[in-house]
Amino acid sequence: MQLVLGGRQLDLRRGLLMGILNATPDSFSDGGDYLQTEKALARAREMAAEGADIIDVGAESTRPGARAVSIEEEKKRLLPVLRGLEPLGLPVSVDTRKPEVAEAALQAGARLLNDVSGLRDERMITLAARYRVPVVVVHSPLDDPAEMMRHARYGDVVSEVKEFLLTQAQRALSAGVPAVILDPGFGFGKKLEHNLELLRRLPELAALGYPLLVGLSRKRSIGELTGVQRPAERVCGSVAAHLQALGRGANILRVHDVAAHREALAVWRAVEE
Ligand code: HH2
């Protein structure tokens, strides 16, 4: 299975690393570290050297209870970083829920739309079709991160996630979006028990035939399982969860700790290939 991003062919069967770049003051694990453009670009160069395949840039935290950011503020944080990333030569994705921000990001060189609100706003689909870029469809029970955890109630979480993702993927494809990547949205309105169920039964999502992205990096569930309080120290637990995901059909891992995941991926590939 291949993914074409900005003219590059990426081999999804080998497992790809999407390095996280949060140009925010309040992200749950690295808020404030990369708010200044120079610091963000230095981190992007570091992730490229560590072996990231894609850089995912976001300028609004989506942690449960996060404060919403205006369109202007989000663009102000994001655009200088996106422009500065061009010489790096890696495909860049933009992590945003706002079509206005997404369009400015596409004009500044982003080649993938990562929409954690799951393409609920039709304009996201129209944009991806117009700019001919793939999208990541993320499941969340609600559009608003501030309210999400109050909706962490499911009958069968896997069936509900599957139904939402399939509906949104089909809407996008029939509107002319060139490719769709599915993401169960770990932690988005989901408690530990839901995240574990989704991870265990990931093959059911992989069987839908779309590329699958998994993002468990440093998340609260990893802290709950390992007892590690500080998100930045949840590296081993994150790697373990992501290896489980790869073994169950994940194609792209969204990670903060690129170097650690690159090592783990080397071992996983050597066994698989
Ligand atoms: N998780 C976060 C943000 N964006 N995008 C996708 N596709 N999948 C995810 O699981 C996902 C995501 C939350 O993590 P992070 O960016 O580190 O934190 P914050 O939202 O606080 O900036």
154-182 pLDDT tens trace: 999 999 999 999 999 999 999 999 999 99
78 and 101 Cβ atoms separated by less than 8 Å: yes
Catalytic site includes residue 132: no
Cα 215 to middle of ligand 1, angstroms: 7
| Ligand 1: residue whose CA is nearest its atom 21 | 27
Does the pTM surpass 0.85? The reply is yes
Separation between Cα atoms, residue 38 and residue 156, nearest integer Å? 45
Using a 6 Å cutoff on CB, does residue 63 contact ligand 1?
yes
Q: Which CATH superfamily is domain 11-272 in?
A: Dihydropteroate synthase-like (3.20.20.20)
Q: What is the dihedral of CA 151, 153, 158, 163, to 10 degrees?
A: -50
pLDDT tens-digit map of 93-146: 999 999 999 999 999 999 999 999 999 999 999 999 999 999 999 999 987 777
35-72: pLDDT as tens digits:
899 999 999 999 999 999 999 999 999 887 778 899 99
> Which of 47, 254, 255 should be mutated for ligand 1, with most atoms under 8 A from CB?
254
For 61, other C-beta atoms within 10 Å of its C-beta total 20
CA distance 213 to 193: 19
Is the minimum distance from the CB of 257 to ligand 1 under 6 angstroms? no
